Structure 1
């Protein structure tokens, strides 16, 4: 495995796909962030092309006419859907290995994934409890839910900031329980 200084962007992206189901070992920051950026660019470019084609093809249409792009539209959406599904495991894998690189368990990766579902359940339960116990559910419910949504938003933002900080944290400089620091390995060769 190469370190951040010798690994090219293309090598980092190839490593992302090649190690797509490997949840063992460590991943450098570059191994994590290069695929994130390239995949985001692929999604953005595909979406922009889709909407530009849709806008340009519908400018000269008569009322009730379908633009020709409407027949290609499912292909664009299909590509985005398949691409999103194809990168699901590699995204999770590289995030787990990134956590390993900073000395954390890969289970930390699940926190930002599971957290929104937990809060939706909490909001749902509080909403039901508020409607059952309050004689005027509209006023009490609105206030309680507004405060709850504000707290949920703050906690969510805090979790994502914390997770982002973990993802940009430098590697542990020594061997940890998930493997040798690739910087050390490349210096020994």
Structure 2
């Protein structure tokens, strides 16, 4: 549990390094809280929705569900926006990359948005192709950033600070061995 709330303790700290465990436990914490808050929103009628369906065809096994958050989920998402950005920047620092790399997928997205806006005004098919290529580039950049989030940090100190594995208290490190 300590790893899950560590980014809250380092709420707006953009310097230093965060190891993979801190980043992914934070993501897990957000998923769990998001699901719980979505159910609470739906139960209290705060704009959330939780629905499910199963197949009625004999001999088939199929199920589907829809979960959408409401007011509480949105407040939680807004409250953890800054720690999300901070832990992502520190994660990039751990692999000796600038924190600005978390914005890499946004560059082609902005190109696609501007190209789409241009194509809507002019009806030019070439602009639509540029928007499609920019969308594909955004997908590739997103995959690259995801791979970086999964990459082991540089051992020892780097230009962003000391190795976070060396700074972990012994009792906390033993918990997740």
Which category describes the TM-score, using the shorter chain as reference length? 0.7 to 0.9
- CA deviation digits over 1:32-64, x for unaligned, max 9? 11111221222233334545x4xxxxxxxxxxx
Aligned to 2:33: 42
- Match of residue 139, structure 2, among 157, 165, 174: 157
Query: Structure 2 unaligned runs (5+)?
Result: 49-68, 171-177
- Match of residue 112, structure 1, among 75, 100, 105: 105
- Match of residue 92, structure 1, among 75, 79, 85: 85
Which of structures 1 and 2 has the larger relative contact order (alpha carbons within 8 angstroms, sep 6+)? Answer: 1
Change (3 A) 1:49 1:79: closer
**Secondary structure of the corresponding residue to residue 181 of structure 1:** coil
Query: Scaled by the length of structure 2, what TM-score is found?
Result: 0.72
- Report whether the alignment pairs 1:18 with 2:18: no
Structure-2 separation of matches of 1:16 and 1:43:
16
- Match of residue 27, structure 1, among 9, 18, 29: 18
Which of the two has higher C-alpha Rg? Answer: 1
Which of the two has greater helix per residue?
Answer: 1
Aligned to 1:124: 117
Aligned to 2:61: none
Q: Give the deviation of 1:114 after TM superposition.
A: 5.0
**Secondary structure of the corresponding residue to residue 104 of structure 2:** helix
Aligned to 1:81: 74
Structure-1 separation of matches of 2:10 and 2:40:
30
Structure-2 separation of matches of 1:120 and 1:49:
35
Change (3 A) 1:24 1:186: same
Which of the two has greater strand per residue?
Answer: 2
Structure-1 separation of matches of 2:12 and 2:167:
23
RMSD: 2.6
